[in-house]
Amino acid sequence: MRTKTLLLSAVALATGVIASQAQSNVFSANVVGYVSVVLPGNGQYQLCANPLDDGNGNYVTNVLGNSLPKQSQVLIWNGAGYDVLQRGGTPAAWPVGATNQVPPGVGFFVRNGAVASGVPAVTNTFVGSIVVPNGGSVTNVLNPGFTLVGSPVPYSGNLAIIGLGGGDTNMDYGSPLGKQSQILVWDSSVQGYNIAQKGGGANTWNATASVTPGQGFFVKNQNGAVPGLTTNVVETLNLQ
């Protein structure tokens, strides 16, 4: 399975890092940059994931800033439902004292404005550093049932591949999951999910599940004959 490309939309490496480290491919510090994600308007939802550590707690109020209008919401999955944070007031503002956090590896919905309110799309720019240095690894824990996650490393590629038991090398969520597990990728153009499921005699995926940096996704961890088992997915930063 071919390794997909690490994407930062446009990578802004720290001063001096790109010159001094490009030849050796040894990174003494985490790579920093930014990723831009479009949030459709008129009260539509986008399923996001913060792909970079902002170094300041990754609070919603910092990660999304103040560009969203009144009645915009952030919905964070708590395992049984959503914790909702809404912008209100004039001018629009987040609730005073809000401490909701969205660190890399956590997925969350963003609703841009109210439904049919004439609100335009907003481009949110996530800024920060990759959570591990080059060659380092990070683990995403998939609890039994549904977990809303995102790739903690800003990779673009296939979580699972149709007809195969796994996904791309750098972000293989497909292999650890058991039969009847699902990966649900949000399609903002139709405001619904594209669902890939693992099953059949060969225990392979019936569809390909692809994501880009800054895109969250649901995983239904069924784990086949061993229900209730937590699954770990390890991602490694592999800059060549």
Q: Which pLDDT score is estimated for 29?
A: 58
Q: Which pLDDT score is estimated for 90?
A: 87
With CA atoms as reference, report the closest residue to 104 among 164, 46, 58, 69. Answer: 58
Q: Contact 34/52 with Cβ under 8 angstroms?
A: yes
d(CA 159, CA 55): 27
- What does each of the 240 residues of the chain score in pLDDT, given as a tens digit? 333 444 443 333 332 222 223 333 333 357 889 999 999 999 999 999 999 999 999 999 999 999 999 999 999 999 999 999 999 988 899 999 899 999 999 999 999 998 877 899 999 999 999 999 999 999 999 999 999 999 999 999 999 999 999 999 999 999 999 999 999 999 999 999 999 999 988 899 999 999 999 999 999 998 755 666 889 999 999 887
The residue type found at 84 is V
Q: Which pLDDT score is estimated for 226?
A: 63
A 10 A CB-CB count for 10 gives 9
Which residue matches tokens 């969205």? 102
d(CA 153, CA 195): 22
Q: Which pLDDT score is estimated for 118?
A: 86
Cα–chain center distance at 217: 7
Residue ranges of domains in the chain: 35-129
The residue type found at 239 is L
Instruction: Quickly list DSSP for the chain.
Output: -PPPPB--BB--PPTTHHHHHTTT---SS--EEEEEEEE-STT-EEEEE--SB-SS--BHHHHSTT-S-TT-EEEEE-SSSEEEEE-BTTTTBPPTT---B--TTBEEEEE-SSTTS-PPPEEEEEEEE-SS-TT-EEEEEE-SEEEEEE-SS-B-EEEE-BTSSS--GGG--TTTS-TT-EEEEEETTTTEEEEEEEETTTTEESS-EEE-TTBEEEEEE--TTSTT--EEEEEE----
d(CA 172, CA 159): 5
Q: Is the pTM of this model over 0.85?
A: yes
The residue type found at 147 is T
Q: Which pLDDT score is estimated for 175?
A: 95
